[in-house]
Every structure is written in structure tokens, then in C-alpha cells.
A and B are shown apart, each in its own frame.
Chain A
Amino acid sequence: MAIDALNLAERLQTPVFVLSDLDIGMNLWITEAFEYPEKPEDRGKVLTAEQLAAFKENHNGQRWGRYLDVDGDGIPYRTLPGTRNPQAGYFTRGTGHTEYATYSERPEVWEAMLKRVEKKFDTARHLVPAPIVEENPDARIGIITMGSNHPAVVEARARLDKGGVGSAYLRLRALPIDESVREFISRYDRIYVVENNMDGQVATILRAELPDLAGKLVSLAKCDGMPLSARWITEQIAATE
């Protein structure tokens, strides 16, 4: 996962947060042995001194700009410090900058830059790990969760099944979400978003991302310092189903 996170960070040129939780982080767990990583490293769009010199030629006469999106995915090319080409240097700053990394306070420049970042965010939806979905054509309800709640949800689904309440299941593995989440929510009458925090953060994010489906989402959030239990999840869902 660390390799994937680093590859994504370099590909998307953005920090990637790997979320753990108290249950995973503070306890010893037995897992399958780690497999040797076969995926190659991905450094993303980095230009060498030579590639920079040939950039215009290879991009229909476009001059390289640090924040210029030349291939439509919202991700521009970058150079690394130490690149032996006098054009390679640029100034990284948080405030307004043009596609060529010069300072600007012009509103249209600022807005265009945010639009590009938005495009990059959409690109990210298809690069991050996709959710793992278990459809159930006979079910009326679906459950969405993430992380260390997984075993409790698996057990709760089995208990609910026994009581005659079948369910479909989507385990989120990353944000931002892709279309599969919309498709999953659309297919069922009610979706329980199970999470181990006080205020139902993932449910809030899903409602904001999919406002037209917000009415289908039921937040099941609990935070008492312990991992979620299958019993609690079962009781909450059984109370309404």
C-alpha cells in the first residue's frame, strides 16, 4: 500500500494520505505473508534536461509550463531541482500563479488554476484503488464501510441474512470515489454507511458528492474508543429493516 501511495503521489503530484486507525495501528495482527511487489515504480510526469529541451518539438510547439496541462488530465509536467537546463527552475508557492509559474493576482488566472486542479481530482478518481463490491440482486439494502470495520460488517451481514435481511456490500478503499459508488447506491433502496467516528464523515462526503442520492444514505456512526462490533451493526440495521 505504501508503494501504491508513493506512486499515486508522484503521478498526481499531490500528497496522498494513508489512513489507519487505533485498532489497526496499536495492536498486533496476524496477516498473510507480504507478497513481493511486482509493480514498477511510477515517478509520474518528470522531465529530464534533454526532455525539457525537446519539449516544444514533442508538444506541437507548446512551451513547457510548470502548471500547463498539455494532455488534458490536469497533471502538468515537472522538473526536479538539479536539472541541468536553465529553463528547468521554477518557484513553488501557494498563492496565485500562472501556467508558467509566474506570480499573478488576476482572478481569471487564479480560477483557471483551480479548474485545472479540479480536472486532476477527476483524473484521480480512476487512479486510486477502486471499491470492492459484492452485489446481491435479492437485497433491498446495501452497506458501505471502510478499513477495519470490514470483519464486523461481514459478520453482521451473515447475522442479518439469518434474520431474513439480505444485503449488498461496498467496501470503499479510497477517495475520491468513482462511478461505481453511484451505481451501487442507485441499485438499492437504502444504503447504511457504517463508520467508526463520531459524526459520520464518510456519509457526509458521499452526500456532498452525490446530492441526488443523499436521501438514500443512512449514517451509522459510533465512536467509543473500541472497534465496531457486529452486534451493534446488526441491531442498528435490524431495528429499521
Chain B
Amino acid sequence: MTATPTRTPAPKTPKVNSIGLEKNAYKGGESTLCNGCGHDSISSRIINAAWESGLDQTQVVKFSGIGCSSKTPAYFLGMSHAFNSLHGRMPSIATGALVANKTLTGIGVSGDGDTASIGIGGFKHMVRRNVPMVYVVENNGVYGLTKGQFSATSDKGQKLKYAGVNNFMPLDVCLEALAANATFVARSFAGDAKQLEALLKAAFSHKGLAILDVISPCVTFNNHDDSTKSYNWGKEHEIQLHELNFVPSFEQIEIDEYDDEREVQLHDGSWLLLKKLGEDYDPTNKILAYQTLEDARRDQRLLTGIFYIEPETPDFNDLLHTVDTPLALLTQAETRPSREALKHVMEAL
């Protein structure tokens, strides 16, 4: 009997990104969410987008409020600092942190309850200030963590096992963001990996606040086929506004004039390529964005893509003229006014 010669395959060199890290390095702790929860898919998309964009995790800071969605920053980018704040208060914490250090890349994760119910005030003010951050709303139309109550994005007429029938009109996160003068408004679906990753990468390259309303089914409390936040409904009703491609600034591209493509250059030199699908959509036209969102809402279509973008509008730190050095690293000589200054104030009183 002759032994079959076995060949040991050459060790595969692990794939690394532009800063030499494997994808595994972008993971976080083990998720404690329900199996199949949309929020876990979004975490995977964030891991992919951050890895492919070569984000330096030590320069990223994660924020969240309270909810199943708000637990997820523990499950991605494990090397980054994170702050799990109070319910609906993520915008305040994030605004403070990103003003204190404007060199950081901020990513906030919130839920529909966290953003549209208790946190709607903070949300709108963060939008109007254009705080530079990626803001992901993991929208399942329900309070998941507290076991299935209606949120402000629940459909009118929706039935839930414990909560009964919802008689109130929902808020539309994208419309609320537009009305508050958002500079980047997009919607996606947790089940649409390709589009969500492209949107996340574009959001990381955006200069101000990027709002991503991601429909993210709650398999435990709101996954009935007639719910607009369920997997089946989403799969059947998702209509993409455009086919979306993101080209990072470190890749050379030739932009040709194609009839069916529209490109938008982002502040950091990267490109968003929007390939025309059914409709000819211009994402820099705000009135069109309102119209499109309102039509989609009335026609019960899950329209996804970028509704609106202003790539060059000044962000919060531009308007505040904050210094480049993180405030915590300024020396006392730089932050404490002089004796003369105090004397001057005292004399003026």
C-alpha cells in the first residue's frame, strides 16, 4: 500500500486593507442580540465598510443611546472608544465629543425609538448643526429592547402581539432630517448588503452629518409580513433609486460622461456614482427629495438610496472655528486667559 502523497497548501496570506489589518481586527465582542436580528447585519456592514475604507480604529469614536440597536457598538470596531449614553441622548454626547476633538471620525448608532420617539429633539438639533458624523438609525418600527411597544416610526394601523393596534401616523426619519437641513440623507435595508456598504463608505467620506435610515427587522417583535419593517415586506417592496457605487479617493478613476450615470464628488476627493435606474434622480435637488420621499410613503414603497446630498456645506466645527488640536491636549497656557484679561473684565463690571 502506498501512501497517497498529501500536499500541504501554501499558507494563504491573509487579506489586509490599506493600513495592513485583517478584517477580523475590525470586529467587536460577541453579539447578544436575537438570531437573525437586522441590527447584526448592519454591524457586519459597518465592519466591512470600515475595513475596506482602511479606517484607523484608534481615531474612531462610537456613540449610541439605549436599545437593542444602541448595544451594537460593542459588536464592531473593538479597538475604538465607545460611549453608550442615555436613551435619546446620543446626539448631545456625540456633539460634545466631536467638538472637543474634531480630528476623530464619529459613528453613532441609534434606534427608531431612540431617535424618533424620545430623542427627536436632540436628533433635529444635531442635524441642523451638521455635526460631522455618520448617524445610523436601525429602524425596526418597534421598541425591541423593552419587548415590543410601538415607536414613532410604527405604521398606522400596525398590529403587534402585546401592544395592540397603532392609531398614530408615523414619523419618517429621512423627511425629518431633510426638514432640519440635513446635508446627507439616505435610506437602506439591512438585507441589502451591497447598497448599505456603499452608503456607509460614502457617509464616512461626507463632510458633515450623514443620516442613514436603515430598515432593520426585529425578528422577535415586528417581523410580520404586513409590517413595512419586516424582511419579507422589505425584500418584496425595496426599490432602489439608483445603483450605487462608491470610489474612494485613493483609487484612480476616470469619470466619463455617461447618460445613465451621475457622479457626486465628496469633500475628501472620493466619488459617489449613481447609476440611473427607473427614475432620473438628482440627489442635490431638495424639493425633489421631499416629493420622492412623500410619494414613496403614500405608495408604500421602500425606496432606498441617497435622497439628498450637499457635499461642501460647512460643518459644525467650521462654524464654531474650533482649533485643530483636541481641546484635551491644549496646554494651560493656551486655555487660561491672562491676568490682564481678567483685570480688564473686572474693570468693565
What is the interface of chain A, defined by CB distance below 8 A to chain B? 33-34, 36-37, 40-41, 43, 46, 79-86, 88-94, 102-103
Contact = CB atoms under 8 A, between A and B. Distances in A.
Interface residues of B, number: 28
A69 B335 CA distance: 31
B84 A89 contact: no
B61 A92 contact: no
27 contacts: A34-B342, A34-B346, A41-B335, A41-B336, A43-B328, A46-B328, A81-B81, A81-B97, A81-B101, A81-B104, A82-B58, A82-B81, A82-B103, A84-B58, A86-B58, A89-B57, A89-B78, A89-B79, A89-B81, A89-B82, A90-B82, A91-B62, A91-B81, A91-B84, A92-B84, A93-B74, A93-B84
Interface string B93-105: 0000100010110
A102 to B, nearest CB: 7
Contacts of A41: 332, 335-336
Nearest to A78: B81
Nearest to A90: B81
A103 B29 contact: yes
Interface string B141-174: 0000000000000000000000000000000000
B58 A92 contact: no
B326 interface: yes
Contact of B101 (A43, A82, A85, A93): A82
Interface of A is mostly: loop
Given A81-B81, A89-B80, 8 more contacts: A81-B61, A82-B103, A84-B58, A89-B57, A89-B79, A89-B82, A91-B82, A93-B84
B68 to A, nearest CB: 13
Contacts of B101: 80-82
Contact of B74 (A82, A83, A94, A103): A103
Contacts of A91: 62, 73-74, 81-82, 84
Interface in B55-101: 57-59, 61-62, 73-74, 78-84, 97, 101
